[in-house]
Amino acid sequence: MADRYLRLTGTAPGRFLTRRLGLPQPAALARWSPEHPALDGGLRHLTAGTSGLDLAPVLARTGLGPGGADDRPAAVVLDATGVRDVEGLAEVHAALHPVVRSVAPSGRVLVLGAPLDPADHHQAAAQQALEGFTRSLGKEIGRGRTVNLVRLTDAAAGESTLRFLLSPKSAYVSGQVIEVGPPHESPAALDWDRPLAGRTALVTGGARGIGEAVAETLARDGARVVVLDVPQAEQDARRVADLIGGTALPLDITTADAGARIAEALPDGLDLLIHNAGITRDRRLVNMPAERWISVLEVNLASVLRTTDALLKAGTLKRGGSVVATASIAGLAGNAGQTNYGASKAGVVGLVRSLAPRALDEHGVTVNAVAPGFIETKMTAAIPLFIREAGRRMNSLAQGGLPADVAETTAWLAHPASGAVNGQVVRVCGQSLLGA
């Protein structure tokens, strides 16, 4: 459903009226397209503290030219990895205070921090302060601009993350803190335009909505995509598969042998396991019968646990592969009428945090999750008007996201060069004003 309010605020009378009434003023976001693969404008690189990162080669490959002193940069990168005390935080203010106002609409502010040092509580305090700073700046910067924090120790290990966050692909990702681990081996010859070429991806719930967008995006990036959905949605699954040159797999993911049947259908193995299938059966707990609780937990969580375990144990998931599960801000912040859904999605977060280090050590597979907020789908279009409008506006970007926003984030986590990103739960919510 079209966001008429967003269209209104894009007109001169709409801007005047909403400003006078103190209403949200969302800006149309610059999203990726073949015609606009990069942000329009230059990049300004700033430093607070003494940094040991060699960022220049990585930043030079983002597609953003160097920004001059008087222009409006499309992106500002502040390297604050060397900030170790409260005095160093003053350098953060000194670096960004003069330039924040000049960042172009739909621009990016990216703060780079270091992991917290458990042996140095001054460094840990200063680096943790960057998180509060980043989230707060994201809530005030406006005009479709995003602010994120990346903790890393090696620029090359973070290249895929920096490229993603400094591109139009991250339009609806803001206020996030992403940990990039130590360098991880990635393919020597990597085509950044089609990084998934030669890889096989399975997308559950891929016949419509967010799953369909994920399937299309992974195929765009070169993957052979298997579109899995329940037998009742086989026609839609085949439509999506035919559109992207993939294959359809009609299968109820909740069946006890789903993992074995997937392994049988993919004798050559699987590189990317995308858990997107999910349902809602909303009702307040006092009015919720057991079948509504059980069905949601079975589809959204139990099936994810079972199939992931089965495919790892069988060796179907290849080394160098990725699991990307779908959580939700409802699992992080809770939502009235969704105790079942919130429990299932919080369970996905627990799965990711526990399994990620072991899956990487034992199987060479990363495990991450995306946590969508209010995304414009047929499901959200059916929400009553005033609740729908509240959902759209209650984030720093004051608008709903698109299925493509979740798909682009999934594709980044599935990228062969993202092997140092593991155990992360990344909200795709425009920095929702609710939750962590």
Check if 341 is active-site: yes
* Same domain, yes or no: 212 and 163: no
Active-site choice (32, 133, 341, 412): 341
Same domain for 354 and 407? yes
Q: Answer yes or no: is 194 within a domain.
A: no
Residue 252 has a pLDDT of 97
Triad 78, 83, 87: Cα angle to 5°:
115
pLDDT greater than 60 at residue 436: no
Q: Based on the domain organization, do 145 and 274 belong to the same domain? A: no
Q: Which of 21-25, 245-249, 317-321 has the weakest average pLDDT? A: 21-25
257 with 312, same domain: the answer is yes
Domain boundary at 123, 150, 179, which? 179
Q: How far is CA 133 from CA 93, 113, 153, 175, 207, in A?
A: 10, 12, 20, 10, 40
- Strand ranges in 253-392 using DSSP code E only, listed in sequence order: 270-275, 317-326, 366-372
Can you give the pLDDT at residue 171?
Answer: 98
171 and 213 both lie in a single domain: no
In which domain, by residue range, is 124 found?
A: 22-179
How buried is 110 (Cβ within 10 angstroms: 0-12 exposed, 13-18 middle, 19+ buried)? buried
392: in domain:
yes
Give the Cα separation of 329 and 339 in Å (integer).
13
Same domain for 234 and 118, yes or no, is no
Give the pLDDT of residue 9.
87
CATH number for position 118: 3.40.50.720
Same domain flag for 209 and 155: no
**Helix residue spans in 108-207 (DSSP H):** 121-140, 159-165
261 in the same domain as 367: yes
Q: Which residue has the tokens 């962590």?
A: 436
Query: Model's pTM, two decimal places?
Result: 0.96
**Can you say whether the dihedral through the CA atoms of 374, 376, 377, 383 is positive or negative?**
positive
128-166 as b/e: b if 16+ CB within 10 A: ebbbebbbebbeebeebbbbbbbbbbbbbbbbbbbbbbb
Asked if the structure places residue 381 within a domain, the reply is: yes
| Cα atoms found within 13 Å of the Cα of residue 296, Cβ hemisphere only | 23
Whether 44 has a pLDDT exceeding 90, the answer reads: yes
The pLDDT value given to residue 68: 58
- The structural domain count of the chain equals 2
Is 41 domain-assigned?
yes
Answer yes or no: is 10 within a domain. no
User: What pLDDT, in 10s, does the model give residues 264-311?
Assistant: 999 999 999 999 999 999 999 999 999 999 999 999 999 999 999 999
Structure tokens that stand for 330 in this block: 């409802």
Decide if 278 contacts 327 (C-beta within 8 A). Answer: no
Average pLDDT over residues 2-12: 85
389 band by pLDDT with thresholds 50, 70 and 90: confident
**296 shares a domain with 163:** no
Same domain, 160 and 278: no
Q: Are residues 59 and 122 in the same domain?
A: yes
In a shared domain, residues 361 and 229:
yes
CA 224 to CA 201: how far, in whole Å?
Answer: 6
Q: Is 281 domain-assigned? A: yes
Q: Is residue 394 part of a domain?
A: yes
Mean pLDDT of the chain: 94
Domain boundary among 179, 212, 244: 179
Where does a domain end: 145, 179, 213? 179
Residue 434 placed within a domain: no
Measured from the Cβ of residue 284, the count of other Cβ atoms closer than 10 Å reads 10
pLDDT digits (tens, 9 = 90+) for 349-369: 999 999 999 999 999 999 999
